[in-house]
Amino acid sequence: MQLDLRPLNTRFGVEVFGIDLAQPLDAETFDRIEKAFDEHSLLLFRGQTLDENDHVALSRRFGTLQSHVLKPYLSSEHPELLVLSNIEDNGQATGIGDAGQIWHADTSYVETPCRCSLLLGREIPEPRGDRTFGDTVFLSAAAAYDALPEERKASLARLTAPHSFIHYYKLKQAQGSNRPDLTKEQESEVPPVDQPVVLPHPITGRKAIYVNPSYTTTINALPEAEGRALLDELFAHLVKPAFVYRHKWRPGDLVIWDNYATQHLAIGDYALPQRRLMHRTTVLLRDDAKARLDETRRALV
């Protein structure tokens, strides 16, 4: 069966019609979905009725799942599911309330960042007229790389940059987030890692800009001010409207994005009694892709 794919009117991302992900997917259909995913970097499926088991099982078709370092926010039934929510239970947070509100690619701060994330909207704040709340904005870091002038591409080719979860966490605390300090044990799980500034995709080979404002602090081998100026230039380039898609959630939407080709930003423009509940899985790279990534990193880092 051919998939019914319709572009999201950007340079990346497609909506997939006619698939009920709560039903078993045969190997051929999944293969087509995976190919579409590698080609378009983001897939949207609307109107899905996945329960937690279905969400985890579907995610596993893309690879092994990763459990997040912030253990208190994992689903009690399924530790592979990270709960992103502003909903409270007896005054206690039930999920991370302010996740993803600075541009980032998931887990770029580990040596082998995750392949993709599958985010399911379970409760979404009611729109008021045309105004929606809790949108997620995505950008194509691959399209942004393609559009760079050739001299800039050449100057980035051999650069690397540190990515740090601890830096991001402290940034959030400095911005007023009431997250508790990371324990020493949590910090030791996520030491900073160096990544190439331009990363060939470990599956498709397509190059993308691989620095982001959440985790990238500076550029190695450049004086601090020069590194900062280069990061600011790249961050401003990445968010140009030509590379961006803004997703307006409805309950039952599942969005799958490629963390090597895209970045995303959650818009925190809602507050209780507006309720937002999302479940996210993150999928690791398969071994063959990891080997290609290791090769790229060994050559540079």
Question: Which residues are catalytically annotated?
Answer: 104, 106, 264, 280
**Closest residue to ligand SIN: CB criterion:** 100
CB of 269 to ligand SIN, least distance (A): 11
* Of residues 136 and 262, the one with the C-beta less far from ligand SIN: 136
* Of residues 16 and 256, the one with the C-beta less far from ligand SIN: 256
Q: Tell me how long the chain is.
A: 301
Q: In this structure, what are the phi and psi dihedrals at residue 220, rounded to the nearest 5 degrees?
A: -65, 150
Dist. CA 220–CA 207, nearest whole Å: 20
CB of 187 to ligand SIN, least distance (A): 20
* Of residues 40 and 280, the one with the C-beta less far from ligand SIN: 280
State the residues that interact with ligand SIN by CB under 6 A: 84, 99-100, 119, 136, 264, 266, 278, 280
- Which tokens sit at 154? 């050449």
CB of 266 to ligand SIN, least distance (A): 3
Rama region for 194: left / alpha / beta (φ>0; ψ in -120 to 50; rest)? beta
- Hey, how many other C-beta atoms are within 10 angstroms of the C-beta on 54? 16
* Of residues 14 and 106, the one with the C-beta less far from ligand SIN: 106
- Ordered alpha helix ranges (H), the chain: 27-40, 52-62, 141-146, 150-156, 165-174, 184-189, 224-238, 287-300
Give me the amino acid identity at 14. Answer: V
* Of residues 107 and 217, the one with the C-beta less far from ligand SIN: 107
CB of 264 to ligand SIN, least distance (A): 6
User: Which H or E run contains 66?
Assistant: strand 65-66
Q: DSSP letter at 72?
A: G
CB of 28 to ligand SIN, least distance (A): 30
CB of 133 to ligand SIN, least distance (A): 11
Dist. CA 234–CA 149, nearest whole Å: 12
* Of residues 119 and 148, the one with the C-beta less far from ligand SIN: 119
3-state per-residue secondary structure call for 140-177: EHHHHHHCCCHHHHHHHCCCEEEECHHHHHHHHHHCCC
Dist. CA 276–CA 190, nearest whole Å: 28
